[in-house]
Structure 1
Amino acid sequence: MTPEARLAAAIDLLHAVMEQPRRPADAIAAEFFRARRYIGGGDRREVSDLAWGVLRQRLRLEWWIGQTGVRVTPRLLVLALLILGRGMKPGEASKLFMGGRYGAGTLDVGEEEVARSLAGKPLVGKDMPDGPRLNLPEWALPGMRARFGAALEAEAAALEAAAPLDLRANALKATREAAMAALGMEAVPTPHSPWGLRLRGRASVAATPAYKDGLVEVQDEGSQLIAALVGAKPGMRVADYCAGAAGKTLAMAATMANQGRITACDVSAPRLEGAAKRLRRAGVHNAETHLLSPGDRWAKRRAGQFDRVLVDAPCTGTGTWRRNPDARSRTTGEDLAELVGKQREILSISAQLVRPGGRLVYATCSLLPEEDEAQVDGFLQAHGDFHAVPLAQAWAEAGMPGAPPCEGPHLALSPAAHGTDGFFCAVMERAS
């Protein structure tokens, strides 16, 4: 493909993303390229890099375009990225917009004027409001300020950096050292998880024998630490109440040495089908799946039967924005309010499952206090038979090496401070 054709394809992909604002961009991109199998691997990377460059900087690009008074379009977003983000001169950028069958069409007079107005401007302007300057949506700023205070700028910058690829060695099949050797890629042990491996650079892990044979799983180190804090041991009964694709179910099965029973629950049948495949590949024999449906009485029938219940709650995902940059624009303040109510409801339901003396572990991949500490505080006030287990105690009882990576009563991880995605985890115990 010519550079002009790649630009046109990137604009088409952005159109598809903007027309489906509630869907993740990576899912839309997968469909987009499946329908265009004539786009080869190298061209696909170039198209994706351009589209994802726009998605990563969309808040800033839209602010600059907004200063011109012109309506934001995918064409203008790409044009703004070329000038503001890649340092092209307006005339140089406009040459990539060509007519013909494979071009995006030439710029009109208004678009040319926007290009000239952006010339010489920095992508990050000192006069920008905090939202676009920090690349954070306005609705998330109050919570981010409350969380990080003076460290907000450093954390915002870390949320823009490329995320590493972390793996978890499957202790059911191999030690971390054996998994690293079998992987055959340059990797280093993660600093906090005793099972973690961090790859350097891009890698296609799914194609390796180590992955196909279940020796490793893709899992951020922070997620591994949450699974460890559950403290699931051989012989226990464990519920993973919002299991998704069962990443933490797999990790807990390893700490249980395949002994006892884990029930992985979720509201999505496709996610649970994917989970079942991962469980088989990893050699997990002590897990079953359960599809939660409206009116489901499963939780009531199993009240008080579980030693450990993990609630990896649906959340805004602010801690994963370096991996999912489109979520900055896809998620709204209304979503936050709705999710806070849903989290409260899920916590209340899942608490019924915990036996006396058992533990309820609440986790999110959010950096916002409304979804984290505030939820835990509200739950403990409403459920007097539960109390918080200090992080240091839960860490030691889980047999984790050294000291926890952060201070405070709960686990609170962030990209700048800990090198992981943003995660929160609180351990609560029910009175005997």
Structure 2
Amino acid sequence: MARKLNTRALAARATRQIIDQGRSLDAVLPSLFEQVDLSAQNRSLLQELVYGVCRWYGELDALAGQLLRSPIRNKDRELHFLLLVGLYQLRHLDTAQHAAVAETVSGCQQLNKAWAKKLINGCLRSYLRQPPELSADAAHLSHPKWIAGALETAWPDYYNDIVQANNQRPPMCLRVNRRQGSRDQYLEQLHKQNFSALADPYSSDGIVLQQAAPVTALPAFAEGAVSVQDTAAQLACDLLAAQPGESVLDACAAPGGKTAHLLERHDDQLALDALDISARRCEQLQATLNRLQLDAHVVNADAADTQSWDQPDGGYDRIMIDAPCSGLGVLRRHPDIRHHRTAADVDNLVAQQQRLLHGLWPLLKPGGRMLYLTCSILPAENNDQIDAFLASHGDAMLTELSHPSALVLSHGVQTLPGVHEMDGFFYSALTKAS
């Protein structure tokens, strides 16, 4: 008889791969789900445990350090993560305490470390008897010092709101494909299937689910009726303001959410080139378009190297640069970023962004609009980046943007997690002089 899989042990192994070995959450969890046969309930629990430990790692690690008499040896590092999984349940979930302790201790067996049951049990029960005291800014412990410092410097008035939001589960946001039906019609379908859902007040195509659900449970997801996309990302379509019949370049298009939104809005009446430098991500982009029954010219190329791919005669009416960035505006959705990103990465990303802006500007028609956006909240990647670009391009004019849920900056608009009801995105629109 096959041994029952222990979800806590699986979570410990997964979080170790992410935090110690530098693998991404988006790679680890899908791979794990393919390898093990779990019920829908246990898949959901496993995902919650892995995301939760990644979000609260700093806090949980500090707690473990106080509960352990001495650090767990490197060769038994999975046990350290198993302890963190147990602490996360006791501290942040509504799991019954006895079940959380028993299942976590049982995980030692699956990790082939049955000798550690007493150790893990003792630490968890010690926590229940008298939780160690942490500093009042415990939430900040789950942000690397360089990230915490950068956020506090950039946004001193909003810093606490941002770091608190980064450690919370974000809502699940949907984008309705208006080619297949209206938002009201899709809301009606959701309500008939007992989903608690609301119209997004900041996106005319958006819906916010009160509780996350597998995409396979969403009505007509496979047929392309709806996509998962945060509100902040949905703003791109309106801010680019493309018109039917125009030529459009989505320069960093994968996995395809913004490309698809443009095509849905304009019923395929755009000549749209969708580029991405990654062949694998181009496949994801094409799969997105196929599911939504949309068509675009997908090109695997380095957008900034304009000699390596073909453009339409005369250039583009609209160019959207969803630039590679630090991702510090989406830490709540991608908690593994805080374990992988470094301060040096930001300098490299700023250089990549500059290369895209400078390389693609000549392809914009006179009178055309370029929309630059990131899912970062660092000024160096955003407002400062556009300031430098304007200083070196006399034919570039800033186009004023506004949104009811965004901060208006000198060179664009910025949303912040915990301050606005969406992820952290920056948008700037530039018009080329005629």
What TM bracket, shorter-length normalisation? 0.7 to 0.9
Tell me the equivalent position of 1:79: 83
Inter-CA distance 314–164: structure 2 relative to 1 (3 Å threshold): same
1:276-315 map, 5 Å: 276-285=286-295, 287-293=296-302, 297-298=307-308, 302=312, 305-315=315-325
1:18-33 map, 5 Å: 18=19, 20-21=21-22, 23-33=23-33
1:144 alignment partner, SS class: helix
Tell me the equivalent position of 1:144: 151
Tell me the equivalent position of 2:429: 427
Q: Contact 1:4 / 1:102 at 8 angstroms: preserved in 2?
A: no
C-alpha distance in structure 2 between counterparts of 1:116 and 1:337, whole Å:
45
Matched, 1:320 2:330: yes
C-alpha distance in structure 2 between counterparts of 1:95 and 1:258, whole Å:
52
Tell which deviates more after alignment, 360-369 or 40-49: 40-49
Amino acid at match of 2:45: E
Q: Contact 1:220 / 1:421 at 8 angstroms: preserved in 2?
A: yes
Inter-CA distance 45–224: structure 2 relative to 1 (3 Å threshold): closer
C-alpha distance in structure 2 between counterparts of 1:182 and 1:97, whole Å:
42
Tell which deviates more after alignment, 77-86 or 274-283: 77-86
1:424: Cα distance to partner? 0.8
**From 159, 167, 171, the counterpart of 2:166:** 159
Inter-CA distance 115–180: structure 2 relative to 1 (3 Å threshold): closer
Amino acid at match of 1:275: L
1:214: Cα distance to partner? 2.0
Q: In the comparison of the two structures, how many residue pairs are matched?
A: 416
Q: Contact 1:80 / 1:115 at 8 angstroms: preserved in 2?
A: no
Tell which deviates more after alignment, 3-12 or 238-247: 3-12
Tell me the equivalent position of 1:258: 268
Regions of 4+ moved over 6 Å: 1-4, 108-119
C-alpha distance in structure 1 between counterparts of 2:230 and 2:110, whole Å:
43
1:6: Cα distance to partner? 3.0
Tell me the equivalent position of 2:94: none
RMSD: 3.2
Amino acid at match of 1:16: Q
C-alpha distance in structure 1 between counterparts of 2:225 and 2:5, whole Å:
43
Q: TM-score, normalised by structure 1?
A: 0.85
C-alpha distance in structure 1 between counterparts of 2:399 and 2:421, whole Å:
25
Amino acid at match of 2:32: F
Inter-CA distance 123–259: structure 2 relative to 1 (3 Å threshold): farther
Inter-CA distance 425–104: structure 2 relative to 1 (3 Å threshold): farther
Amino acid at match of 1:415: P
1:324 alignment partner, SS class: coil
1:270-419 map, 5 Å: 270-285=280-295, 287-293=296-302, 297-298=307-308, 302=312, 305-392=315-402, 403=404, 405-409=406-410, 410-419=412-421
2:175 alignment partner, SS class: strand
Tell me the equivalent position of 2:257: 247
Matched, 1:205 2:215: yes
Inter-CA distance 120–80: structure 2 relative to 1 (3 Å threshold): farther
Tell me the equivalent position of 1:40: 39
Q: Contact 1:4 / 1:104 at 8 angstroms: preserved in 2?
A: no
Structure 2, unaligned runs of 5 or more: 92-96
C-alpha distance in structure 1 between counterparts of 2:245 and 2:280, whole Å:
29
1:106 alignment partner, SS class: helix
1:170-189 map, 5 Å: 170-183=177-190, 184=192, 185-189=195-199
Inter-CA distance 131–304: structure 2 relative to 1 (3 Å threshold): farther
Amino acid at match of 1:14: T
Tell which deviates more after alignment, 8-17 or 165-174: 8-17
C-alpha distance in structure 1 between counterparts of 2:110 and 2:118, whole Å:
21
Q: TM-score, normalised by structure 2?
A: 0.84
1:148: Cα distance to partner? 2.2
Tell which deviates more after alignment, 200-209 or 222-231: 200-209
Give CA deviations for 1:241-277 in whole Å, capped at 9, x if unaligned: 0001211111112333321311110012222222223
C-alpha distance in structure 1 between counterparts of 2:5 and 2:392, whole Å:
60
C-alpha distance in structure 1 between counterparts of 2:383 and 2:147, whole Å:
16
Inter-CA distance 203–80: structure 2 relative to 1 (3 Å threshold): closer
C-alpha distance in structure 1 between counterparts of 2:254 and 2:104, whole Å:
46
Q: Contact 1:303 / 1:352 at 8 angstroms: preserved in 2?
A: no
Tell me the equivalent position of 1:17: 18
Tell me the equivalent position of 1:125: 135
C-alpha distance in structure 2 between counterparts of 1:9 and 1:370, whole Å:
39
Q: Contact 1:17 / 1:28 at 8 angstroms: preserved in 2?
A: yes
Amino acid at match of 1:291: N
2:167 alignment partner, SS class: coil
Q: Contact 1:10 / 1:51 at 8 angstroms: preserved in 2?
A: yes
C-alpha distance in structure 2 between counterparts of 1:127 and 1:243, whole Å:
38
The alignment-based identity, stated in percent, is 28
1:222-237 map, 5 Å: 222-237=232-247
1:45 alignment partner, SS class: helix
Amino acid at match of 2:372: Y
C-alpha distance in structure 1 between counterparts of 2:222 and 2:87, whole Å:
43
1:187-198 map, 5 Å: 187-198=197-208
Tell me the equivalent position of 1:399: none
Tell me the equivalent position of 2:224: 214
